Amino acid sequence: RELLEKVYSSQAVEQALSILVRGRSEETERFRCRQAELRRKADFDELTGIYNRSTFYKKVVELFKLYPKDNFVIIRLNVERFKLINDLFGEETGDRLLRYIAEKLADAQFEYSTYGRMHSDNFVICFPLRGSNQMEFIGTIQQDMEQALPSYKVAMTFGIYYVNNKNISVSTMCDRAGLALQQIKGNYMKSYNVYDERMRRAILQEQDIVNEMNSALSGGQFRVYLQPKYDIVTEQIVGAEALARWIHPEKGLISPAVFIPAFERNGFIMELDIYIWEIVCRLLRKWIDAGYDPQPISVNVSRLDLYRTDLCDVLNNMVKKYNLDPGLLQLELTESAYTENPQQIIEVTKQLQKMGFPILMDDFGSGYSSLNMLKDISVDVLKIDLHFLDSQDESGRGGNILNSVVRMAECLKIPVIAEGVETKQQADFMRDIGCYCVQGYYYSKPIGVEEYEALMNSI
Ligand code: C2E
Ligand code: CA
Ligand code: CA
């Protein structure tokens, strides 16, 4: 100022300085606004204006601190087939739907609660159990959804986690609610699911399996068990099914029911299947070389294998390598694979049959469109699993269904194998309705290769 006043009048300096200061404070104000805007962007979900995931986590912690004595629930909400809604009505409508859901969360009547959007069509809410009914909340949201779109019924699914331990992170709590939600994906009968500890244990178990599977395969821990198939009249063995077993050095024998679903989820089943097929081919070659005329062995072909473009080559090379008639290696394709992608399966099946591999349709009757599909695909054998019948009593509905399936197969000239035959009664019934091939505990459980060889020798 002193310097300026030497040159300019003090009034002019006063004016200039006041402009400067005002300017600066305007700038400060603008800066503050920008900061607030950035913070808002960081804290809130841009599309819906409600909290985003990380703010939701923070707000839940605050809620827990404010009401330390209360029990809370965290519910994840998901729009069923949201992609389809976007495809059918356009993304703008999809966005509008998401904003609508956010509004409904805001409208929910709780004494206190906090909610946010996790990602895309996934929302989350946390509220105290005291004084609020979580089922009522779910019901209200479902009702609201009926009016969400004029010509489409929007379905929501809910994953529920009752917060029983506030010491774990909120993100873990949300993962647990998410896990409960995941488990109802594709289950049209169920719209909500509650997290329980078993789910966590299942995840941990699956993690163990995934960690160990590669070394288990290279370490020879997977073995083949053979379950004989019998001719019901002669009671002679007419073949066997190869079933995988994991002989774990510490845990002992692990059943396929434990590891096959995990392998199907992570794709490892394709490696295991090839490994099993090769063991079976080697066995068949060994028996032939020893002077036997072996019965065919069927192997399981996972639905994932059917998506391999080189499946036919792999199998063809395998039988060539061991110089086997492909007729000795029967392929069991599960019926549900047929319903998933019929066109692809029809093509692959045709090719495999042309190469000489017999095709067995496994678990026939477990899916939905099997009857309808039989006219389009050609299979060599139908396997009916007696488990899939609701009623075990042969004289009742279950028996009638079995009877008609066998009749129908007869008309189509497709042989039938009944599996899961556990009692003499069931065996007699199958014989009476004209099904002469059986596999099941009543005849033999799956057995080790040596035991099967002893059985072969005894015939
Ligand atoms: P699956 O192909 O339907 O095999 C028949 C299952 O029923 C076998 O179970 C067998 O042990 C069981 N079983 C046979 N007879 C009876 C009976 O009388 N009563 C009862 N309750 N069960 C009977 P397992 O060996 O536990 O295999 C389960 C499933 O795992 C198989 O069902 C198959 O889908 C899959 N699996 C097994 N090994 C392999 C494999 O190497 N590759 C693939 N992709 N899947 C496999
Ligand atoms: Ca099978
Ligand atoms: Ca089966």
Q: Which of 253, 255, 300 to mutate to test the pocket of ligand 1 (most atoms within 8 A of CB)?
A: 300
| Whole-number Å distance between alpha carbons of 78 and 120 | 9
Q: Which atom of ligand 1 is nearest to the CA of 305?
A: 44
DSSP codes of every residue in 20-87: HHHHHHHHHHHHHHHHHHHHHHHHB-TTT-SEEHHHHHHHHHHHHHH-TT--EEEEEEEETTHHHHHH
Q: Which ligand is nearest to the CA of 256?
A: 1
Give the separation between CA 449 and CA 266, rounded to whole angstroms.
28
d(CA 144, CA 15): 61
Q: How far is the CA of 300 from the centre of ligand 1 (A)?
A: 9
- Report pLDDT for 211: 96
pLDDT for position 391: 53
Residue found by looking up tokens 């020893």 in the block: 290
CB neighbour list of residue 184: distance below 8 Å, 6 or more residues apart? 157, 159, 190, 191, 192, 193
* Residue listed under structure tokens 């014989």: 431
Ligand 1 pocket test: which of 255, 260, 307, 366 has the largest number of ligand atoms within 8 Å of its C-beta? 260
Atom of ligand 1 at shortest range from CA of 301: 44
pLDDT the model gives residue 163 = 96
Question: Which residues contact ligand 1 via a Cβ below 6 A?
Answer: 227, 243-244, 255-257, 260, 269, 273, 276, 300, 302, 332, 362-363, 419-422, 440-441, 446
Q: Which residue has the CA at smallest separation from atom 3 of ligand 1?
A: 363
Ligand 2 centroid, distance to 268 Cα (angstroms): 18
Model confidence pLDDT, tens digit, residues 8-40? 777 777 877 777 777 677 777 787 788 777 777
Residue 339: the pLDDT is 72
H or E element in which residue 313 lies = helix 311-321
Nearest ligand by distance to the CA of 276 = 1
- Closest residue (by CA) to atom 41 of ligand 1? 244
Instruction: Take atom 8 of ligand 1 and give the residue whose Cα is closest.
Output: 243
pLDDT in the model for residue 369: 55
Nearest CA among 224, 172, 232, 223 for reference residue 199: 172
Quote the percentage of the chain above a pLDDT of 70: 96
> In terms of residues, how long is the chain?
459
**Which ligand 1 atom sits closest to the C-alpha of 419?**
15
| Mutational test site, ligand 1, from 385, 419, 426, 438, max ligand atoms within 8 Å of CB | 419
The CA distance from 219 to 18, in Å, is 83
Mean pLDDT of the chain: 90
For a pocket test of ligand 1, which of 217, 243, 334, 439 has the largest count of ligand atoms closer than 8 A to its C-beta? 243
The parts of the chain modelled with pLDDT lower than 50 are none
What is the pLDDT, as a whole number, of residue 186? 66
Answer for the pair 128, 136: CB distance below 8 angstroms, yes or no.
Answer: no
What distance in angstroms lies between residue 366's CA and the mean position of ligand 3's atoms?
9
Report the separation in Å between the CA atom of 364 and the middle of ligand 3, taken as the mean of its atom positions: 8
CA of 102 to the centre of ligand 2 (A): 47
255 Cα nearest atom in ligand 1: 26
Return the ligand number nearest the Cα of 384. Answer: 3
N-term to C-term CA, the chain: 116
At 425 the pLDDT is 92
